[in-house]
Amino acid sequence: MIITFGHTKGGVGKSLLAWHTAIAMDIPVVDLDFQKTLVFSNSLRKQAGLKPVEIIHIDNDEQFIEMFNEWPEDQDIIIDVGGFDMSINRIALIISDLIITPAIDRVTEMAGLSKFHEIITEISETVEVADIRTLVLLNELNPNSKDIKVLEELVEDFDRFDIMHSRICHRADFYNTMKEGKGVTELTKGKAKSELKNLIKEIKKIKKRGSRCLRRNLMSMH
């Protein structure tokens, strides 16, 4: 299953969640984020003597398409998309089995989410048979006030979005572990660890249920 953390808005937690999910599931990550956040954390991981995350770099669209054209269904991989709109990121959205869109519950974030919905609608309408839907994952929630009505109502208004049951709060463990090259699931305990484990459980449930495989769409892009 190709799992993409995708949003055209920057700074919503795509790389952070890709990192912790890759470690928790022990699967590789394709790094399309030019900031190379994951490479930095991985070098710290190596220095700490931990098994490095397999990070795959892609040079161009053709190489990307070739890699995923024959991607085996039973092999899991994560794609960390950069926070901007460009062709390679659009291809990632088309070929993914599951797209997770981290979103922050702030009024200022709503315009970005709406723009992203516009983009996936446009791709779905222009690329033959592509029908992109994404699962919105609430990230950086305030642990003390979990009222997420604004975002929930907004997501309901967009037909290509659904909301995930899992929620991720703003927690120091998420960035402190990354600074040491670790994943939160490698900690002995903590709320960040439980939240991430719940996310993995939900991803596995989606996989078992069967996700919509859009990989055949790749062929129609040429």
Ligand X SMILES: Nc1ncnc2c1ncn2[C@@H]1O[C@H](COP(=O)(O)OP(=O)(O)OP(=O)(O)O)[C@@H](O)[C@H]1O
Residues at the site binding Mg ion, with contacts judged by CB under 5 A: 14-15, 33
Which one among 37, 121, 198, 211 touches ligand X, defined by CB under 6 A? 37
Which one among 36, 133, 170, 215 touches ligand X, defined by CB under 6 A? 170
Please say which residue, 97 or 195, places its beta carbon nearer to ligand X: 195
Part in contact with ligand X (CB under 6 A); list of ranges 6-14, 92-100, 130-138, 181-189: 6-14
CA dist., res. 65 & res. 82, Å (int):
17
Structure tokens that stand for 41 in this block: 């954390």
- Binding to ligand X (CB under 6 A): which residues in 77-106? 82-83
Please say which residue, 104 or 218, places its beta carbon nearer to Mg ion: 104
Place of tokens 């642990």: 143
Sequence-distant (6+) residues with CB within 8 A of 50 are 181, 182, 186
Which helix (H) or strand (E) element contains residue 20?
helix 14-25
Which one among 21, 139, 185, 217 touches ligand X, defined by CB under 6 A? 139
Pattern 12-31, ligand X, x by CB under 6 A: xxxxx---------------
Structure tokens that stand for 1 in this block: 């299953």
- Binding to ligand X (CB under 6 A): which residues in 43-72? none
Please say which residue, 95 or 192, places its beta carbon nearer to ligand X: 192
* 35 binding ligand X? (CB under 6 A): yes
Q: Where are the alpha helices (DSSP H) in 26-164?
A: 37-47, 61-69, 87-95, 110-126, 149-157
* 194 binding ligand X? (CB under 6 A): no
Instruction: Tell me if 22 sits within 8 A of 184, measured CB to CB.
Output: no
Q: Which residue is nearest to Mg ion (CB)?
A: 15
Q: Pick what 140 binds: ligand X, Mg ion, none; C-beta below 5 to 8 Å, kind-dependent.
A: ligand X
Spatial CA neighbour of 155 closest among 103, 206, 108, 199: 103
Please say which residue, 12 or 100, places its beta carbon nearer to ligand X: 12
Part in contact with ligand X (CB under 6 A); list of ranges 23-31, 108-116, 165-173, 213-221: 165-173
CA dist., res. 203 & res. 164, Å (int):
10
Q: Pick what 34 binds: Mg ion, ligand X, none; C-beta below 5 to 8 Å, kind-dependent.
A: none
Phi, psi of 23 (to 5 degrees): -70, -45
Supply the DSSP string of 162-201, one letter for each residue. Answer: EEEEEEEE--HHHHHHHHTT--GGGSSS-HHHHHHHHHHH
Instruction: List contacts with ligand X (CB under 6 A).
Output: 10-16, 33, 35, 37, 82-83, 139-140, 168, 170-171, 174-175
